[in-house]
Copies of this chain bind each other. A is one copy, B any other.
């Protein structure tokens, strides 16, 4: 594996973030945890992007190592693990919303007058609170 072995390429802040979640999969897991109420390995596997099991296991491990995600044993089934965002993970919400806003604006395959943008523009804080309230 040894993707970001140990020493950062630089001490730049953008680089710090990229070495944490700079790949095609990691933020999809964050998305599923943050916006879709998913919590288990099996639920992440169901997402439309079709992540494979080895990559998912690797990214969950990484996210845990970085303190963005933590897992607990499910109360009803000891072989089932529940993943959730830590506060460090929840702090990615503004990043996720700005990414979403950018995509809504620039994805040509989408409607230009998207309700997300109006709401995001006028009630950002309320939007964030509503999302955070639903977690845990």
Measured CB to CB, the residues of A under 8 A from B are 9-19, 22-25, 27-28, 31, 47-50, 88, 91-92, 94-96, 98-107, 109-110
How far apart sit A42 and B103, CA to CA, in the bound complex (Å)? 30
Find A23's partner among B23, B95, B107 (CB 8 Å cutoff).
Answer: B23
Chain B CB count within 10 A is highest, among A17, A27, A94, A101, for: A17
Do A13 and B48 touch (CB < 8 A)?
no
CB closest residue in chain B, given A14: B31
How far apart sit A92 and B101, CA to CA, in the bound complex (Å)? 10
Do A50 and B88 touch (CB < 8 A)?
no
A104, chain B: closest CB distance, angstroms: 6
Do B94 and A14 touch (CB < 8 A)?
no
Give the residues in chain B near A12, CB-CB below 8 Å: 28, 31, 48-49
